[in-house]
Amino acid sequence: MAEPTPLARQDLASKLVQEIARKGNDIPEEYLHKNGFPEAIDAPDLWRHDLLIDLSLLSSSKLELEKLQSALSEWGCFQVINHGIESSFLEDLIEISKQFFALPLEEKLKCSAADDIFQGYGNDMVYAGAQTVNWNDRLFLTLYPDEKRKLQFWPTKPEKFGGMIDEYSTKLATIIETIYKAMARSLNLEEDCFLKHQGKRGLMTGRFSLYPRCPCPERVLGVKPHSDGATITFLLAEKEVDGLEVLKDDRWYKVPVIPGALFVNFGDLGEVMTNGKFKSVMHRVVTNDTKDRISVAAFCTPEDEKEIGPVSDLVSIHQPQLYKRFNIHEFRQMFFENYAQGHRTLDALKL
Ligand SMILES: O=C(O)CCC(=O)C(=O)O
Ligand SMILES: [Fe+2]
């Protein structure tokens, strides 16, 4: 696939889902999944018991560690509570993201990237080719490490936004460390094993998404089925507007928003590192015709210089190596191409 080129600002404006939704015309063909998609199962109890992890217990409770291990090996995701971030902070972050998307178009376009396809305000339209496109607009930013931030794409309005994003990424870094250590212990590995793989300056990118209400939710997806390219992803979504769904054993399950909790999912790099012990979960976002939805996803990947591959202690005669070794640059290119085409990068990495 040819290297995608960014859209000029005026072209971008005409492709923004928020603008299409605002004008209220017919939904363009490229958004329509003509045959619809299967319905998801509602199983709220699952998310309040087996897939609910109390972060404050992970270092002391064997039971909680076992829960983490089975959530990641069977589902590749869980909800986390008692993570140390105030609920009011999370609500404010959603609120301020909402305020960003409510700004006049001209103001938001100041954050669009004229020469960098992986940053700024816009949407995935440019990668789509012949594929069905996602019904969302996003602000994509490098959050961490500081030297990788491209501040020219960071919003200056609402005024508090930049400071809150900064604070959120710092807070997440602590949670990530706790989860990586617990993951390692649950697999009987040296505690720092995944932290070392990630590196001290591992990358965190943030995707602030707006899913405008959609007049045809039975044919349009906010995000089509995919697994993330990250090691691990943290997702914060707006209360009372469900949309996220995960796939397990060929069945889709709704993911309820639990106020104050963060949804955590494992990605392709995580599945590779654990040699398939922990699963990179397939997920999608459905739309609805009554409410706009906001979400904030933070994707964590290893440092740029790292070689990725299964952790050696998880490879043996009894557990053959399932995935190739590769570097993160190769992976990024592969990931965006596969994502656009609706393919899974993980399949291309299998030995
Ligand atoms: O908005 C969501 O709930 C999920 C978004 C997502 O899966 C992604 O951006 O990779
Ligand atoms: Fe995702």
Q: Which atom of ligand 1 is nearest to the CA of 209?
A: 1
Report the range of poorest mean pLDDT among 19-33, 72-86, 89-103, 263-277. Answer: 19-33
Does 204 have pLDDT greater than 70?
Answer: yes
Count CB neighbours of 271 within 10 A.
Answer: 24
Place of tokens 């998801």: 40
Over range 229-257, report the average pLDDT. Answer: 97
The string of pLDDT tens digits covering residues 105-136 is 999 999 998 667 678 999 876 555 567 889 99
Q: Which of 63, 328, 325, 68 lies closest to 202 in space, CA to CA?
A: 328
Contact 143, 165 (CB under 8 A): yes
Domain count, the chain: 1
Position 5 scores a pLDDT of 55
207 domain residue, yes or no: yes
Ligand approaching nearest to the C-alpha of 242: 1
CA of 123 to the centre of ligand 1 (A): 13
Q: Which domain holds residue 178?
A: 9-349
CA of 79 to the centre of ligand 1 (A): 15
4 domain residue, yes or no: no
Q: Indicate if ligand 1 lies below 6 Å from the C-beta of 293.
A: no
Contact 308, 345 (CB under 8 A): no
Q: Indicate if ligand 1 lies below 6 Å from the C-beta of 7.
A: no
ipTM given for this complex: 0.99
Does 4 have pLDDT greater than 60?
Answer: no
Over range 177-205, report the average pLDDT. Answer: 92
Mutating to test ligand 1, I would choose from 228, 258, 285 the residue with most ligand atoms within 8 A of its C-beta, which is 285
Over range 290-302, report the average pLDDT. Answer: 97
Q: What is the 3-state secondary structure (H, E, C) of the chain?
A: CCCCCCCCHHHHHHHCHHHHHHHCCCCCHHHCCCCCCCCCECCHHHHHCCCEEEHHHCCCCHHHHHHHHHHHHHHCEEEEECCCCCHHHHHHHHHHHHHHHCCCHHHHHCCECCCCCCCEEECHHHHCCCCCCCCCEEEEEEEECHHHCCHHHCCCCCCCHHHHHHHHHHHHHHHHHHHHHHHHHHCCCCCCHHHHHHCCCCEEEEEEEEECCCCCCCCCEEEEEECCCCCEEEEEECCCCCCEEEEECCEEEECCCCCCCEEEEECHHHHHHCCCCCCCCCEEEECCCCCCEEEEEEEEECCCCCEECCCHHHCCCCCCCCECCEEHHHHHHHHHHHHHHCCCHHHHHEC
2 domain residue, yes or no: no
The CATH number of the domain holding residue 55 is: 2.60.120.330
Report the range of poorest mean pLDDT among 55-69, 130-144, 219-233. Answer: 130-144
Q: Count Cα neighbours of 231 within 13 Å in the Cβ-side half-sphere.
A: 26
Mutating to test ligand 1, I would choose from 118, 283, 300, 345 the residue with most ligand atoms within 8 A of its C-beta, which is 283
Position 7 scores a pLDDT of 60
pLDDT confidence of 9, banded at 50, 70, 90?
A: low
Contact 41, 254 (CB under 8 A): yes
Over range 297-311, report the average pLDDT. Answer: 92
Over range 19-31, report the average pLDDT. Answer: 91
The edge-to-edge listing of strands for the beta sheet with 120-122 is 52-54, 77-81, 262-266, 232-237, 293-301, 203-211, 137-144, 120-122
Q: Look at 339 and 276; give whichever has higher pLDDT.
A: 276
Q: Which atom of ligand 1 is nearest to the CA of 243?
A: 3
Name the residue with the closest Cα to ligand 1, atom 8.
Answer: 297
Position 129 scores a pLDDT of 59
The string of pLDDT tens digits covering residues 151-180 is 999 999 999 999 999 999 999 999 999 999
Q: Look at 159 and 1; give whichever has higher pLDDT.
A: 159
The whole-model pTM stands at 0.95
Mutating to test ligand 1, I would choose from 47, 232, 244 the residue with most ligand atoms within 8 A of its C-beta, which is 244
CA of 139 to the centre of ligand 1 (A): 12
Q: Indicate if ligand 1 lies below 6 Å from the C-beta of 108.
A: no
310 domain residue, yes or no: yes
Position 180 scores a pLDDT of 96
CA distance 285 to 283: 7
User: To 10 degrees, what angle do helices 87-101 and 161-186 make?
Assistant: 130
Q: Indicate if ligand 1 lies below 6 Å from the C-beta of 209.
A: yes
CA distance 257 to 243: 9
CA 18 to chain centre: 20
Q: Indicate if ligand 1 lies below 6 Å from the C-beta of 242.
A: no
Q: Indicate if ligand 1 lies below 6 Å from the C-beta of 295.
A: yes
Does 1 have pLDDT greater than 50?
Answer: no
Report the range of poorest mean pLDDT among 56-65, 112-121, 318-327. Answer: 112-121
Q: Which atom of ligand 1 is nearest to the CA of 284?
A: 7
Does 138 have pLDDT greater than 90?
Answer: yes
Ligand approaching nearest to the C-alpha of 139: 1
300 domain residue, yes or no: yes
CA distance 172 to 83: 9
**Percent of the chain predicted with pLDDT > 70:** 94
User: To 10 degrees, what angle do helices 62-70 and 161-186 make?
Assistant: 100
Position 2 scores a pLDDT of 43
Provide φ and ψ at 231, rounded to 5°: -75, -50
Over range 290-309, report the average pLDDT. Answer: 93
Q: Indicate if ligand 1 lies below 6 Å from the C-beta of 284.
A: no
3 domain residue, yes or no: no
Name the residue with the closest Cα to ligand 1, atom 3.
Answer: 244
